[in-house]
Structure 1
Amino acid sequence: MKDMFRGTLLKVLLLLILLLPLGAFLHYNLPGYDVVRITSTDIRRVDRDGNAANNEVPGATRDVYVIFAEDPESGAARVYYNEDTGWGFPWYFKFDSANVHQRAGAIAREPDNRALVTHYGWRIPMLSWFPNAVSVQRVEPGYTPIPWFNIVFFALLAGVIGWIWWSVARWRRRRAASL
């Protein structure tokens, strides 16, 4: 009985060791949706490490669009970087950061400046990490986003995992029957 408990505990721990990094990876890279009030926008010059730049070396700095917002209910501050992803990972194929920045600035100047910000990434103040805004859309007060992409993605992922589980179980039954 004690050995069976240890075996089960070991399997659960191994499963957690595998699933936690996968969950963190998906949480970081899949789109998140925030309904916020956009307060202002800015353009910052940063160096390659993302720090404020005073570097005079050509090509060592870049401009980053920044969107400042707050949660409509709690008033908590939200800051988003707005950078192109280009052809790189994660594959958002975003090439219009200037357009997103202009749209955010236009929404900030309106009396009812609520917007849906689609983003990926995490805000980690100690590391100066900001989520990257993929799109900004004007929304009405009380709007609640439905994450259709995430729903479809996780349904497909569950289907693939279920198919693999079923295939392995079928293979094990065939193997056991042939022995």
Structure 2
Amino acid sequence: MRWFLTAVGVLFGITVFMFLDYALPSKQTVRITEAFNRQIEIGRNAIFYAADDTGTVQNSTGRRDVQFINAVRTNGKPYVYRNEDTGWIWPPYFKYDSADLQAQAADLRSTSATPEWVSITSYGWRVNWLSVYPNAISIKPVSGPDVRPFNWGAIVILLILGALLMLIWRMWNQFRERSLDPAWDRIDAEGDAARGRLSRWWRGMRGR
């Protein structure tokens, strides 16, 4: 049973890590090449797009008009962001300025000959085969490709979550020491006693 609880704990830890990796804000220094709208089909990847209550509208065929920001990273590789409002539910970024952000992205477009570098704060993953894109939250011009703004938002959230985790861990340890450990010890003792009785019975049968 303890091995089962360990496996459950590992799976829970992996789930929490993936959840935080998706939901926490990240920053990337990029060069914006294009800001545009495109209709895309929302299907099995709907969980990675904005909810209907944010004002997003889908037509009868399940296609949605989504704003995108094309960019190039400092290593020369392309990267694509979507630009959707998040609303008041999840994730709690309370973003309602996607139109303003799209205008800012269009104004900051540049070419490789005369690059203008920006730091884009976003959350989410880029998964090509699922047509999943990170959602841009804010754009801030930077002086060059080597500038890496410190990600204060993610650090503060992780510190708060770490403090809550420590509190929950202490409460769990106290509960385990008072309730679970005595119960497991009693079960182990009863199992040992049962095995002992079975062993004595078997030796008696062999003796006969």
Q: Counterpart in 1 of 2:121?
A: 118
Q: CA RMSD in A?
A: 2.8
Letter in 2 for 1:112: P
Q: Counterpart in 1 of 2:106?
A: 105
Residues paired across the two proteins, number:
165
- Distance in 1 between the 2:170 and 2:110 partners? 55
Larger deviation, residues 110-119 vs 122-131: 110-119
Q: Which SS does the other structure have where 1:155 is aligned?
A: helix
Q: Counterpart in 2 of 1:149?
A: 153
User: How does the TM-score come out when normalised to structure 2?
Assistant: 0.69
Extract unaligned runs of 5+ from structure 1.
Answer: 1-5, 51-56
User: How does the TM-score come out when normalised to structure 1?
Assistant: 0.79
**Larger Rg, first or second structure (1 or 2):** 2
Q: Counterpart in 1 of 2:163?
A: 159
The Cα shift of 1:10 comes to 4.9
Q: Choose which of 69, 72, 75 in structure 1 pairs with 2:71.
A: 69
User: What does the per-residue CA deviation read over 1:20-39, in whole Å, with 9 as the maximum and x for residues that have no partner?
Assistant: 11111111111111111111
User: What does the per-residue CA deviation read over 1:133-174, in whole Å, with 9 as the maximum and x for residues that have no partner?
Assistant: 111111111211211111111111111111222233345566
- Distance in 2 between the 1:170 and 1:45 partners? 54
Q: Counterpart in 1 of 2:8?
A: 14
Distance 1:59 1:136, change over 3 A: farther
- Distance in 2 between the 1:58 and 1:11 partners? 46
Letter in 1 for 2:7: L
Q: Which SS does the other structure have where 2:27 is aligned?
A: strand
Letter in 2 for 1:22: V
User: What does the per-residue CA deviation read over 1:112-145, in whole Å, with 9 as the maximum and x for residues that have no partner?
Assistant: 3211111111111111111111111111112112
- Distance in 2 between the 1:19 and 1:78 partners? 29
Q: Counterpart in 2 of 1:131?
A: 134
Report % sequence identity. 33
Larger deviation, residues 134-143 vs 167-176: 167-176
The Cα shift of 1:82 comes to 0.6
Say whether the 8 Å CA contact 2:31–2:110 is kept in structure 1: no
